Chain A
Amino acid sequence: MSTDPAPSEPFDPDRAYRCSPRVALRPEPFGALVYHFGTRRLSFLKTPQLVAVVSGLEQHHSVHAAIDAADVEDTQRPAYLRALAGLAANGTIEQRS
């Protein structure tokens, strides 16, 4: 049956993350639909930029760097960090070493 993601450490945007290998992103007009094959939870990335950030995590040494690379406006950064913290909590994204 469903497997919950491993309990994650507190979200730390200075560290390197990646999209979970058990997660699929489906492009949609608003952004992307996220499906976690382990928890069987469906969720949504509600802007194309958030999709870019999540997809780009793997290429960057920190969450902040991935946000920079996606040209997120500074005023939006706190909102993106909150969204990414939520994604970390539900196992969509996870720390990588």
Chain B
Amino acid sequence: MKLVEHFQYGLNSPICLTWELTYACNLACVHCLSSSGRRDPRELTTAEAKGVIDELQRMQVFYVNIGGGEPTVRSDFWELLDYAVGHDVGVKFSTNGIKLDEKRARQLAATDYVDVQISLDGATADVNDHVRGPGSYATAIRALENLATAGFAQPKISVVMTRQNVAQLDEFKAIADRFGAQLRITRLRPSGRGADVWDELHPTAGQQRQLYDWLVAHGEGVLTGDSFFHLSAYGESLPGLNLCGAGRVVCLIDPVGDVYACPFAIHENFLAGNVRSPGGFQQVWQHSELFAQLRQPQTGGACRSCGFYDSCQGGCMAAKFFTGLPLDGPDPECVRGFGEEALAARDGSAPVPRSDVDHSRSAPRNIRGPVPVQIGMPSRAGAATGPVAQPDRACETSPLAGMPGDASDSRLRVPVAGS
């Protein structure tokens, strides 16, 4: 069995774990995939968070991607960072840069085993601030300057590709080069508040082609979190693993300890359990009913007969779910146009699912109380026919020590910790 086939049946521990430490954020980005803004009073305490780190160490989860919200606004953020690093759990954290002053930059430069990822969604202030809010471009650039001055080696600049910034790819690369940073570009998902702006912001078909061509030409050294595999149907496969990683090698722990199948799927249909329940995270990862379902072989559904199915695997589960498309059909951004057809064919009889988790500052305070109407998708109990057709990829993996005879290996050789 090839390695990727093993992956689809799940691993003892995740390879790529995202942990959002807080829903609190100083910004209010229009496309926030976790609808962050206000802290949730039920967020994990410092002691509970350290308990999770202990468990990750026991499970040999060697690093986590920490995000939010804005993780650095948690007053215990630096304490948890040190605790994780001291327990063999490396940290890559995403930040808008708000707390990265000169002192913190020096501290980070002196800490082994930490990666920093600064979010920037425009190569110019006007494009960035339109999405991320006034002043956010200046904040990010200042953080990058502080890191460079402190001698922090190769931070990442993380860009969500939108209709407004695809044309700026070369400029992003220039900014990265200027700060000794590595460029990371990822796909806009219709998750969280991203659902509200997806129609307006997601790249056009022509821009998708432009993005693909740019990656083929300049992609060496540019990280993608493996998020553009749906573009592989244009021809040459982009590097990465052709498999939906959700619940198999990837998952999300949210600020209140809820475990979801992937960071782009904060919705009760993809909620596997909570780290506070007996058995903790390990119990959820290894024994939840939802993850067991996600680890079943996939059929491909309506896409199975498409000649490009092997390269794109039907696209991203979350992108389909939050645009109201069936999970076993084409991705809304299918490069052959089948997604656009499917979007056009929606008749409104089944409302598009929305997350029940919303901490946006303008929204009513979120209490995940009684579940409202079940929309668009079967309930968890009936989910065997639901979230089981999830093409997405393991977000970042790198089989290095491949046994010969598996030709897929050579293109998978990318350093995971740097992806």
Q: Which residues of A contact B (CB under 8 A)?
A: 1-2, 24, 26-30, 33-35, 37, 39-47, 50, 79-80, 82-83, 86-87, 90, 92
B403: chain A residues at CB < 8 Å are 46-47, 50, 79-80, 83
Chain B 381-400 interface 0/1 with A at a Cβ cutoff of 8 Å (1 = within): 00000000000000001111
Question: Is B400 a contact of A90 with CB atoms below 8 Å?
Answer: yes
Q: Assess A35 versus B11: contact at CB under 8 Å? Given A44-B402, A46-B406.
A: no
Closest to B417 in A: A40
Number of A-B contacts (CB under 8 A): 92
Nearest CB of B to A51, in Å: 10
Q: Which residues of A contact B405 (CB under 8 A)?
A: 79
The interface residues of chain B, by DSSP majority, are classed as loop
Whether the pair A83, B62 counts as a contact (CB closer than 8 A) is: no
- Additional A-B contacts beyond A35-B60, A40-B63, A79-B403 (14; CB < 8 A): A24-B62, A24-B88, A29-B6, A29-B9, A30-B6, A37-B62, A37-B88, A37-B113, A40-B418, A41-B398, A46-B399, A79-B405, A83-B404, A87-B401
Contact A86 B12 (CB under 8 A): no
**In contact, A29 and B404 (Cβ under 8 angstroms):** no
* Highest count of chain A CB atoms <10 Å: which of B152, B398, B401, B415: B401
Q: Which residues of chain B come closer than 8 Å to A92, judged between CB atoms?
A: 400-401
Q: Give the contacting residue for B402; candidates A1, A40, A46; CB below 8 A.
A: A46
CB within 8 Å of A: which residues of B? Answer: 1, 3, 6, 9, 11-13, 15, 60, 62-63, 88, 90, 112-113, 152-154, 397-406, 415-418
Asked, given contacts A30-B6, A41-B416, whether A86 binds B62 with beta carbons under 8 Å apart, the answer is no
Q: What are 16 A-B residue pairs whose CB atoms fall within 8 Å in the complex?
A: A2-B112, A28-B6, A28-B11, A29-B11, A29-B12, A40-B417, A41-B417, A42-B398, A42-B416, A44-B400, A45-B401, A50-B403, A79-B405, A83-B401, A86-B400, A90-B400
| B residues less than 8 Å from A86 (CB atoms) | 400-402
- List chain A residues, Cβ under 8 A from B9: 29
B6 touching A41 by the CB < 8 A rule?
A: no
Q: Which residues from chain B contact A26 at a C-beta distance below 8 Å?
A: 12-13, 60, 62
Query: Once the chains are docked, how many angstroms separate the CA of A84 from the CA of B62?
Result: 22
Given A24-B88, A30-B3, A41-B415, A46 contacting B401 (CB threshold 8 A): yes
Q: Which of B1, B152, B399 counts the most chain A CB atoms within 10 A?
A: B399
Q: Which residue of B lies closest to A47 (CB)?
A: B403
Q: What are the residues of chain B within 8 A of A40 when measuring CB–CB?
A: 63, 90, 113, 415-418
**Closest B-chain residue to A35, C-beta based?**
B62
The chain A residue with its CB closest to the CB of B415 is: A41
Q: Which of B15, B62, B153 has the most CB of A within 10 A?
A: B62
* Shortest Cβ distance from residue B91 to the other chain A in the assembled complex, whole angstroms: 11
Q: Which residues of the other chain, A, contact B11 by a CB distance below 8 angstroms? A: 28-29, 33
Name the A residues within 8 Å of B113 (CB-CB): 37, 40
Bound: A50/B153 CA distance, A: 34
Contact, CB under 8 Å: A27 / B12: yes
| Chain A: CB-nearest residue to B59 | A26
CB <8 Å contact, B404 and A79: yes
Residue of B112, B398, B400 with most partner-chain A CB within 10 A: B400
Instruction: Decide if A82 touches B62 in the complex (CB within 8 Å).
Output: no
**A43 to B399 Cα, complex, angstroms:** 5
Distance (whole angstroms) from the CB of B121 to the closest CB of chain A:
26
Chain B residues, CB < 8 A from A79: 403-405
CA distance A14 to B34 in the complex (A): 55
Chain B hits for A44, CB < 8 A: 3, 399-402
Q: How far, in Å, is A32 (CB) from chain B's closest CB?
A: 9
The answer to whether B400 touches A41 (Cβ under 8 A) is yes
Partner of A39, one of B401, B404, B406, B415: B415
A27 CA to B154 CA in the complex, in Å? 31
> Which residue of chain A has the shortest Cβ distance to B416 in the bound complex?
A42
Nearest Cβ in chain A — how far from B295, in angstroms? Answer: 11
Q: For residue B15, which residues in chain A have a CB less than 8 angstroms away from its CB? A: 33, 42
Give the residue name and chain of the A residue nearest to B404 (CB).
Answer: A79
Distance of A54 from chain B, by nearest CB (Å): 9
A45 closest partner in B (C-beta) = B401
Residues of chain B contacted by A46 (CB below 8 angstroms): 3, 399, 401-403, 406
Contacts of A50 in B (CB 8 A): 401, 403
A2 to B399, CA, bound (A): 19
- In the bound assembly, the distance between CA atoms of A90 and B399 in angstroms comes to 12
Minimal beta-carbon separation of A72 from chain B (angstroms) = 11
Residues of chain B within 8 A of A37, CB atoms compared: 62, 88, 90, 113
Q: Which residues of B contact A82 (CB under 8 A)?
A: 404
Contacting residue for B401 out of A1, A24, A34, CB 8 A: A34
B401: chain A residues at CB < 8 Å are 34, 43-46, 50, 83, 86-87, 90, 92
Q: CA–CA, A43 to B402, complex, Å?
A: 8
